[in-house]
Structure 1
Amino acid sequence: MSLIRVETDARGVATLTLARAEKHNALSAQMMTELEDAARGLAKDTKVRVVVLAADGKTFCAGGDLAWMREQFDMDAETRRVESRRIATVLGALYDLPQPLIGRVQGNALGGGVGLVSVCDVAIGVSGAKLGFTETRLGLIPANIGPYVLARMGATRASEVFMSARIFGAEEAVRLNLLSRTVEHDDLDAAIDAEVLPYLSCAPGAVAEAKALMRDLAGRVVQEQVDLAIDALARRWQSDEAREGVGAFFDKRSPSWQ
C-alpha cells in the first residue's frame, strides 16, 4: 500500500499528500522512498506548474518513524549512515523542485515534519498547530533537516528552538519564519488556492528561473552542508544518550537526564 498520493488537476496543480494518518504521517523508510520518487517525478513533469505539499489526518507529520529509527541501533555504522541519509535526500528532492512548493500544514509538525515545512516556498498553517524540534529529547539532534531549517529560519531565530525541543505554536512559527501565515482550519483550502492562483497567470519557465535565481542569490543549501549534517547524526547515533533516549521512549519512561 502506498503511503503517499499524487493528484494533478487540469490547471497543472499537483497535490503531494502524506497518506499515513494512522501513524501521524511519521516518515518510515517506505514513505521516504515514495516521497523522493514522487518529488523527482514532479520535477520532470512540464505540465505541473505548482506543487502543494499536504497530509491526511490531524497531524501534518510527526517526524521520523521511531520504529525505523530504533532499528538503526542494530546496523553497522555505514548502513546506519545510508539509512540516516534518507530524510536528507527527500528534503533535497523537494527543495530542488523547479515549481513553487506550497505547504498545507493542517496540523502538528515535529522533527522531520518541520524539515518538510522548511523546504516549502510558502507554508500556511492552521491556528492551534504545534511545531517543534523534538530530537534532543531523544538524545538525538535535528541534523539532516538542519541545512534546510537554517536556510528557512536563519541562525538567530533557529537558535530559539533548535536545541531545546520546546514545542511552539503556529503563531510563533510565523515569527520564526517557518510558517508564512496562519488561518483557521475552515479557511485553509481557500488560503492555499489564493496562494496558488497567481502562479497560473505566470510563464512557467520564468517562475522556475526566478526561483532558481532567488536560491542562488540567497545562498543555496549545498551538498557539503548536507554531508556535514549526516555525519553529525551518524556520530550521535553511536552515543549512549541516543540509546537511552530512544529506549526510554519505547519503554514509556523518562530518560536518565530528566
Structure 2
Amino acid sequence: MQYAMLEVALSERVATVTLNRPDVRNAFNEAMIAELTDAFRQLDARDDVRAIVLAANGAAFCAGADLNWMKKMATFSDEENRADARRLADMLAVIYRSSKPVIARVSGDAYAGGVGLIAASDIVVAVDSARFCLSEARLGLIAATIAPYVVRALGERASRRYFTTAEQFDCATALRLGLVHEAATTETLDATVRKIAATLCANGPQAVRESKRLVQDIAGHALDEALIDDTAGRIARIRASAEGREGVASFLEKRAPSWRD
C-alpha cells in the first residue's frame, strides 16, 4: 500500500496509517481524503489486520482542511462543492464504520477536521500537551461533515459551545469531555497505544467487530421490545458461532484461544 500523503505499516496484526504532510500540519486536501478512504477500505478487508492506529508525522496531528484547497473549492459550482464535501463525509464514515477498531494516536494539536478524524475513531490516546479547536466559525464556516461524530463524542452541550465559540481547549478538557480516552506524555504515548492495541488483538476478532457494531447500533436507540429482542438475538448468534464456542472451551480448558496463535 503505497501513497503520496500517507505511510501505512503492518506489525503484529496492527496496521498504522500515518498522515504525512508535516509541512502543512497534516492538513488534508482532496488527494489525502482519497488516500485515507482507500487505505481504510483496504485494511478493513484484510483478515491479518485486527486493529488500526491513525497517527501523524510532525508537530501537529491534523490542522483540518488545507486552506488552499478550501479556497479553490469556493470557486467551484454548487454541484462540484457538494460532490467534494461528500467525499470528505464518506472518508469520515469509512473510518467510523471500519469493522476494525481504530485508535487515534494524537501526538500534537488537532483542529477542525482533525477533531473529526479523532471523533470518528473508536479509542483516542493523546499527548497531554495537545490542543483542540473546532475553528470553522472563525473562518465563516461550519463543522458540518464532522458534526455527526463530534457531537457523539462531545455531547450536545459541549458541542454547542465549541462549535460556536471556536475556542481552543486543552487535553485535560478533551479528556473530561470524553473526546480523549487517555492522556499520555510524549515519552509514554507509543507504549500506551501499543498496550491498547495488544489488548484488542488478544480478544476474539469477531467479538471485537460485533461489539463495535453493537455500540453503534444501540446508542441513542429507545429501550423498547425491538431492541431487547435484537440484543438477545445477537448474543445467541455469537454463542453458537465457531469463535464463541472456541472462546468458552479455551477458558474452561485453561488454554489460549486459537485466535492468539
* TM superposition score category, shorter chain reference: 0.7 to 0.9
Residue aligned with 1:103, SS:
strand
Write out per-residue CA displacement over residues 106-128 of structure 1, whole angstroms, 9 at most, x where no aligned residue: 00000000000101111011111
Distance 2:46 2:153 in 1: 26
Give the share of equivalent positions with the same residue, in percent. 38
Question: Any conservation in 2 of the 1:3–1:31 contact (CA below 8 Å)?
Answer: yes
In structure 2, the gaps of 5 or more residues are 222-261
4+ long deviations beyond 2 Å? none
TM-score, normalised on structure 1? 0.83
Q: Deviations over 1:151-197 (max 9, x none)?
A: 11211222231211100111111111111121111110011011111
What's 2:38 paired with? 37
1:139 is matched with 140
How far 1:89 moved relative to its partner?
1.1
2:7 aligned with 1:5, yes or no?
Answer: yes
**How far apart, CA to CA, are the structure 1 residues paired with 2:69 and 2:45?**
30
Tell me the secondary structure at the aligned position of residue 189 of structure 1.
helix
Tell me which residue corresponds to 2:184. 183
Q: Verify the 8 A CA contact 2:51 2:200 in the aligned structure 1.
A: yes
Q: In structure 2, give the amino acid aligned to 1:171.
A: A
Q: Is the 8 A contact 1:158 1:176 kept in 2?
A: no
TM superposition score normalised by structure 2: 0.82
Instruction: Please say if residues 136 and 163 of structure 2, whose CA atoms lie closer than 8 Å, have aligned partners that are also in contact.
Output: no
Q: Which runs of 5+ in 1 are unaligned?
A: 221-258
The 3-state SS of whatever aligns with 1:162 is helix
Q: Which has the higher contact order (CA 8 A, sep 6+)?
A: 1
1:52 equivalent to 2:53? Answer: yes
CA shift digits 1:31-89 (9 cap, x unpaired): 00000000111111111001000000010000001001001121111001111222211
SS at 2:105's partner residue?
A: strand
- The answer for the alignment partner of 1:122 in structure 2 is 123
Count residues with an aligned counterpart. 219
What is the CA deviation profile of residues 210-249 of structure 1, one whole-angstrom value per residue up to 9, with x for unaligned ones?
A: 11111111149xxxxxxxxxxxxxxxxxxxxxxxxxxxxx
| CA RMSD after TM alignment | 1.2
